Amino acid sequence: MIGFVSDSYSTNYLIDLHAGIILDVEATPAHRTAEVESTKTMINRVEERFVLKPRRLAGDTAYGTASMLGWMVEEKEIAPHVPVWDKTRRDDGTFQRGSFHWDEQANEYRCPGGHALRSDWRAYTNPRTHITKADTVIYRSSQHNCSGCAMKEQCCPNISFRKIARSIHESARDVARKLSATPEFKQSRRERKKVEMLFAHLKRILKLDRLRLRGLSGAQDEFLLAATAQNLRRMAKRLAPLGEGITAVAA
């Protein structure tokens, strides 16, 4: 799954990596949010039309957002062969998020010093979800624990306590992280070259760097025709009879 930009529109393909056949096409405005959302449209459409659902989905980091990974893993049960979009990396030498241990049963993190980070430190009469507008839950350490900690300078030197934002789709992100170390993931990354070749063919051979029809519907028509031509070309190569004694005649 990947996009190719022509004028102000992007063509997005859902491709069978093994066969190299384009299963679906979706035209979108040329921005990442629309391109990523088109993946859901195409997967649902292919499942409805052909009763086909991918076991794995390969894509770049744009498809590794928490919400997209949650949709793939939790809703569609698709193995995400995409890098996780992670903005939590620190470049100031302090403890990375990976230094904190997550305790699922206790619903808390444990810092390298053994202290807890919790979403709340007191009981509420009415339980709260603590889910933010960004679909995360903020876990905070105790200021009392941090003030006397010998590792404070390595953890939160400029603030009185450490906090971690945990996505509500963090379990799906963990699935993607584990898959990234597998041979299957590396194979998917290599096979994505087939997709890049299709878009190079669109631009250099089919000359689709400029569109002739107007609007999103016009872009959809042109992209669909181009994908059909590419599929026919691929099928002709795969289905052409092979054998000795075949003579080509030019007339």
The HSE-up count of residue 78 (CA atoms within 13 Å, CB side) is: 24
pLDDT for 239: 80
CA distance 112 to 115: 8
| Cβ-contact 18, 24 below 8 angstroms | no
Write down the H helix ranges in 88-214.
143-147, 152-155, 170-179, 183-204
Which pLDDT tens digit goes with each residue over 173-198?
999 999 999 999 999 988 888 788 88
Residues 6+ apart with CB under 8 A from 72: 57, 78, 79, 80, 172
pLDDT for 1: 54
For the beta sheet containing 163-167, the strands, ordered from the edge strand earlier in sequence to the opposite edge, are 101-103, 108-110, 116-118, 136-141, 163-167
Which of left, alpha, beta for 94 (phi over 0: left; psi -120 to 50: alpha)?
beta
Which pLDDT tens digit goes with each residue over 66-108?
999 999 999 999 999 999 999 888 888 899 999 999 999 999 9
pLDDT for 88: 86
Domains of the chain by start residue, with CATH: 2-83+180-239 (3.30.420.10), 97-168 (no CATH)
Give the global pTM: 0.84
CA distance 202 to 227: 9
Tell me the average pLDDT of the chain.
89
Which pLDDT tens digit goes with each residue over 49-64?
999 999 999 989 999 9
Tell me the chain's radius of gyration from C-alpha atoms.
24
pLDDT for 226: 92
SS3 content of the chain, % helix, strand, coil (to 5): 40, 20, 40
Pick the more confident residue, 216 or 128.
Answer: 216
Which pLDDT tens digit goes with each residue over 114-144?
999 999 988 777 777 889 999 999 999 999 9
Is pLDDT at 251 greater than 50 in this prediction? no
CA angle 234, 229, 219 (to 5 degrees): 135
Confidence class of residue 211 from pLDDT cuts 50, 70 and 90? Answer: confident
pLDDT for 87: 87
